[in-house]
């Protein structure tokens, strides 16, 4: 009897479980196609539910639909590590003790690797950290084009070339999204400086828009398959970019077929009607004092919250736009928060530190090495003097929204000391005092960098010690304070701050063996460059900064980084700065709080300007030395003429002729010989990083199609390659072309 009762119970449970499984709504069934699931979820939602999921409910999180079991969506900055937790409705720290992360190198360093494999590794690693912290959307990477070295936020971007940025951003996106975490590519688009960023209207011609400023975003969407994109703060065509009909509706969603969600930059939405019609899908960060004024939920006053519902209720809008937004947000949720197959991720793992160090090692650029004074080492009694605030300063705190709470950060001096053990002695002199602060939204470095000595006293001390050293390493540059490499404002000068030029000049006189390590996310003026035998561009490298710098200085790693942007001699050499205030920072409109900035240099951005105008830079785009030597052979092609629908394969041998293993980046540039429209002297259309043992040769091939020969014809609104002669140039930098050949497009 007992047995029968138990069997009946088991049977009843089994039947009800089967029924439950059968009843599982389609939208939760991950075996069903995504679009069917989205439509099913949408059909079960009320208008109020749909409104609920298209705006934030806290600083970094938006609502799900609890009654349908659709979870919240959690976002996080990005792009160099996972931001520490803030309070629900405030920017200040939540005070968690388990939210520190690995700080990966800044994106300029990643771009300088010229290695898409590193971008993929970066994406996978940071995506795993996001996953472990329960985040669904990573606010990054950024791929705005480097237009001026004054832009405070260039360190978060991928340099001045649309092709390089596109190849790198798409791999980063793929890597992140392999974790079931969306990359939210930012800041779409034309956000090329920070000064007055919310009140600046960009005027740019369509050729520059399509050839320079959009390709990296397009690559992120089409090659990388990005699930989210962030609108920018500024304006284009007199409309804010978070609700910009042309950029969001026509180009992103129309021409490129983007099916993901457009997320606003924090506070980037300004108008309900425009947000409804002009492509904004998910509103975040709109300022509100609702909580202080006693509203039950401050987020109800967001532009895409109750004000939107009111317009629907009044009959001013139907629900077509709302359905489209909700669909996009649901798609994003199903790809991330509702992906039950995604992994658990990991945080601060040895693998992540190793990835950070590899990317740092590969991104450091050896700019100059006269007489081969680097790498140091070999001589046990060597006395090294390190000078400069940036040798000490922790750089992962500050700079704006990319600020991090790193689990550990090896400073340059600590990295050098550890590496020099048993090999050299290291002494230190401060040299200059820059910015001794180190805090952001409640995260503090805890470093006491106070030093009240005068600039003269500091220089005198450094010079006296330098005279007695075998070698001096000056470590300076910019930092993450306002007016340097930081969000929200631009630099005010191209020169190094805090009197560093004086320190470097004095050191160069005191000791001929001077190495300058510049830490920055931007080019800086280097008036002393010819007097300094070795210059290293070291970026903001994050947790492994000191170790990576030491790897290169002492030769554990043979440098292979290449500049992702030019280092002009002076600011006036930059295209954006050649047209007075109209070109940068813009001209104020009468009677309104709005500036117009005119990108008058058109497509001639970065090296495209310098090459075409024949202006010699201090260090060219693509430049970077090695401790070994590489020889490039003769560029050859599989044909001399190419059909419009065909392609041409170009090959070149590269040989390591030195005595150390190393890696060279073979760069392929194309120019049109007799263009009917103004075209840059040459443009990057291919690159390949090749690792070679001493004496080893490899053949690099590039297959290019008409796409690489085309310019954007604004009148016809299409890409055009005119039949005629083109030249392909292969080299190791934009100013170091080793072999060229002509071919014809039929």
Exposure b/e, 14-48, CB count within 10 A at least 16 = b: eeeeeeeeeeeeebbeeeeeeeebbebbeeebeee
When asked if residue 139 is in the footprint of ligand BGC (CB under 6 A), the reply is yes
What count of Cα atoms within 13 Å lies in the side-chain half-sphere of residue 642?
Answer: 28
**Residue 131 CB contacts under 8 Å (≥ 6 apart), including other chains:** 179, 180, 181, 342, 343, 344, 345
Residue pair 626/662 in contact by the 8 Å Cβ criterion: yes
- By the 10 Å C-beta count (0-12 exposed, 13-18 middle, 19+ buried), 484 is classed as buried
| Of residues 718, 722, 713, the one with CA closest to residue 745 | 722
Q: Which of 50, 186, 623, 729 binds ligand BGC (CB under 6 A)?
A: 186
Say whether 24 sits in a helix, a strand or coil.
Answer: coil
Q: How many residues of this chain bind ligand BGC (CB under 6 A)?
A: 7
What count of Cα atoms within 13 Å lies in the side-chain half-sphere of residue 18?
Answer: 6
When asked if residue 401 is in the footprint of ligand BGC (CB under 6 A), the reply is yes
265 is catalytic: yes
Q: Is the dihedral of CA 142, 145, 146, 147 positive or negative?
A: negative
Q: Least separation, in Å, of the C-beta of 263 and ligand BGC?
A: 9
CA pair distance 134, 402, nearest whole angstrom? 18
Which segments of 192-338 are extended strands (E)?
200-203, 228-231, 235-236, 239-240, 261-263
When asked if residue 194 is in the footprint of ligand BGC (CB under 6 A), the reply is no
CA pair distance 434, 356, nearest whole angstrom? 27
User: Of 191 and 522, which CB lies nearer to ligand BGC in the complex structure?
Assistant: 191
Say whether 201 sits in a helix, a strand or coil.
Answer: strand
User: Of 139 and 356, which CB lies nearer to ligand BGC in the complex structure?
Assistant: 139
Q: Least separation, in Å, of the C-beta of 139 and ligand BGC?
A: 4
CA pair distance 346, 349, nearest whole angstrom? 6
Residue pair 729/680 in contact by the 8 Å Cβ criterion: no
Residue pair 478/520 in contact by the 8 Å Cβ criterion: yes
User: Of 148 and 401, which CB lies nearer to ligand BGC in the complex structure?
Assistant: 401
- Considering the candidates 265, 551, 573, 611, report the single residue annotated as catalytic: 265
For 205-208, which contacts have Cβ atoms below 8 Å and span 24 or more sequence positions? Answer: 205/599, 205/602, 205/714, 206/712, 206/714, 206/717, 207/602, 207/603, 207/711, 207/712, 207/714, 208/599, 208/601, 208/602, 208/603, 208/605
Q: Least separation, in Å, of the C-beta of 283 and ligand BGC?
A: 13
User: Of 395 and 458, which CB lies nearer to ligand BGC in the complex structure?
Assistant: 395
When asked if residue 80 is in the footprint of ligand BGC (CB under 6 A), the reply is no
User: Of 78 and 84, which CB lies nearer to ligand BGC in the complex structure?
Assistant: 78
User: Of 201 and 411, which CB lies nearer to ligand BGC in the complex structure?
Assistant: 201
User: Of 400 and 438, which CB lies nearer to ligand BGC in the complex structure?
Assistant: 400
String marking each residue 680-719 x if it binds ligand BGC according to CB under 6 A? ----------------------------------------
User: Of 78 and 617, which CB lies nearer to ligand BGC in the complex structure?
Assistant: 78
Q: 585 — phi, psi (to 5°)?
A: -90, 10
Output the six-digit token pair for 361: 């090692």
String marking each residue 94-123 x if it binds ligand BGC according to CB under 6 A? ------------------------------
Length of the chain: 746
Q: Which of 49, 77, 321, 544 binds ligand BGC (CB under 6 A)?
A: 77
Q: Least separation, in Å, of the C-beta of 487 and ligand BGC?
A: 6
User: Of 84 and 434, which CB lies nearer to ligand BGC in the complex structure?
Assistant: 84
**Residue 736 CB contacts under 8 Å (≥ 6 apart), including other chains:** 620, 622, 623
Residue pair 599/558 in contact by the 8 Å Cβ criterion: no
Residue 506's alpha-carbon distances to 531, 579, 708, in angstroms, are 11, 35, 48
Radius of gyration of the chain (CA): 27
CA pair distance 422, 401, nearest whole angstrom? 40
Residue 576's alpha-carbon distances to 39, 197, 384, 489, 626, in angstroms, are 47, 16, 41, 17, 31
Residue 647's alpha-carbon distances to 88, 254, 673, 674, in angstroms, are 55, 28, 18, 20
Specify the DSSP class assigned to residue 492. Answer: S
When asked if residue 486 is in the footprint of ligand BGC (CB under 6 A), the reply is no
User: 93 pairs with which residues across the strands?
Assistant: 86
User: Of 77 and 672, which CB lies nearer to ligand BGC in the complex structure?
Assistant: 77
String marking each residue 250-269 x if it binds ligand BGC according to CB under 6 A? ---------------xx---
Q: Least separation, in Å, of the C-beta of 266 and ligand BGC?
A: 4
Specify the DSSP class assigned to residue 210. Answer: I
Residue pair 184/139 in contact by the 8 Å Cβ criterion: yes
User: Of 139 and 410, which CB lies nearer to ligand BGC in the complex structure?
Assistant: 139
| Of residues 568, 469, 480, 575, the one with CA closest to residue 526 | 568
User: Of 440 and 726, which CB lies nearer to ligand BGC in the complex structure?
Assistant: 440
Active-site residue set = 265
Judged by the rule CB under 6 A, the positions of this chain that interact with ligand BGC are 77-78, 139, 186, 265-266, 401
């Amino acid at each position: 009897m007992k047995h029968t009762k138990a069997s009946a119970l088991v049977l009843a449970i089994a039947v009800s479980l089967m029924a439950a499984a059968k009843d599982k709504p389609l939208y939760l069934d991950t075996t069903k196609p995504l679009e069917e699931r989205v439509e099913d979820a949408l059909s079960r939602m009320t208008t109020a539910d749909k409104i609920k999921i298209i705006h934030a409910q806290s600083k970094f999180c938006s609502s799900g639909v609890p009654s349908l079991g659709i979870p919240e969506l959690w976002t996080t900055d990005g792009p160099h590590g996972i931001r520490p937790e803030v309070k629900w409705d405030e920017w200040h720290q939540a005070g968690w003790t388990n939210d520190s992360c690995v700080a990966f190198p800044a994106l300029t360093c990643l771009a300088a690797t010229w290695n898409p494999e590193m971008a993929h590794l970066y994406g996978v690693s940071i995506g795993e950290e996001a996953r472990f912290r329960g985040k669904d959307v990573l606010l990054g990477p950024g791929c705005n084009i480097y237009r001026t070295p004054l832009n405070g936020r260039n360190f978060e971007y991928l340099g001045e070339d649309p092709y390089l940025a596109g190849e790198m951003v798409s791999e980063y996106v793929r890597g992140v999204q392999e974790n079931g975490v969306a990359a939210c590519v930012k800041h779409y688009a034309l956000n090329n400086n920070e000064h007055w960023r919310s009140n600046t209207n960009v005027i740019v011609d369509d050729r520059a828009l399509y050839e320079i400023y959009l390709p990296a975003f397009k690559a992120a969407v089409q090659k990388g398959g990005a699930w989210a994109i962030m609108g920018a703060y500024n304006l284009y065509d007199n409309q804010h970019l978070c609700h910009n009909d042309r950029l969001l509706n026509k180009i992103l969603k129309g021409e490129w077929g983007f099916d993901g969600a457009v997320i606003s930059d924090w506070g980037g939405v300004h108008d309900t009607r425009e947000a409804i019609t002009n492509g904004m899908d998910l509103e975040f960060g709109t300022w509100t004092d609702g909580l202080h004024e006693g509203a039950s939920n401050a987020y109800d006053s967001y532009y895409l919250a109750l004000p939107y519902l009111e317009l629907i209720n009044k009959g001013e809008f139907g629900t077509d736009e709302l359905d489209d937004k909700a669909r996009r947000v649901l798609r994003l949720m199903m790809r991330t928060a509702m992906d039950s197959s995604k992994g658990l991720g990991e945080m601060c793992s040895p693998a992540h530190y190793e990835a950070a160090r590899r990317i740092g090692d590969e991104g450091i650029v050896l700019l100059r090495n006269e007489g081969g004074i680097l790498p140091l080492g070999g001589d046990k009694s060597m006395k090294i003097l390190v000078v400069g605030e940036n040798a000490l300063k922790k750089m992962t705190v500050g700079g704006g929204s990319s600020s991090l709470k790193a689990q550990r950060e090896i400073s340059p001096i600590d990295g050098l000391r550890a590496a020099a053990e048993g090999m050299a002695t290291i002494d230190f002199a401060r040299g200059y005092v820059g910015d001794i602060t180190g805090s952001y939204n409640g995260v503090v470095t805890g470093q006491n960098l106070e030093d009240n000595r005068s600039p003269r006293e500091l220089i005198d001390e450094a010079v006296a010690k330098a005279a007695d050293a075998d070698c001096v390493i000056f470590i300076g540059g910019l930092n993450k304070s306002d007016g340097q490499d930081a969000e929200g404002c631009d630099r005010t000068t191209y020169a190094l701050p805090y009197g560093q030029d004086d320190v470097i000049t004095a050191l160069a006189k005191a000791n001929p063996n001077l190495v300058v390590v510049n830490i920055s996310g931007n080019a800086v003026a280097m008036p002393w460059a010819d007097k300094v035998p070795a210059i290293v561009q070291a970026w903001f490298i994050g947790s492994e900064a000191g170790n990576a710098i030491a790897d290169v200085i002492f030769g554990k790693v043979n440098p292979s980084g290449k500049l992702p942007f030019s280092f002009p001699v002076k600011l006036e050499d930059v295209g954006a700065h050649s047209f007075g205030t109209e070109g940068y920072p813009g001209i104020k409109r009468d009677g309104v709080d709005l500036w117009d900035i005119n990108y008058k240099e058109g497509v001639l951005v970065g090296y495209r300007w310098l090459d075409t105008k024949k202006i010699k830079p201090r260090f060219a785009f693509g430049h970077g030395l090695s401790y070994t030597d590489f020889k490039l052979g003769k560029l050859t092609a599989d044909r001399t003429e190419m059909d419009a629908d065909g392609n041409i394969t170009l090959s070149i041998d590269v040989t390591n002729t030195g005595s150390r293993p190393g890696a060279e980046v073979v760069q392929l540039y194309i120019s049109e010989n007799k263009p009917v429209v103004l075209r840059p002297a040459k443009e990057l259309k291919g690159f390949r990083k090749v690792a070679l043992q001493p004496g080893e040769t490899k053949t690099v091939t590039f297959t290019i199609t008409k796409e690489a020969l085309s310019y954007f014809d604004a009148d016809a609104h299409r890409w055009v390659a005119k039949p005629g002669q083109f030249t392909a140039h292969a080299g190791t930098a934009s100013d170091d072309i080793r072999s060229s050949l002509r071919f014809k497009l039929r």
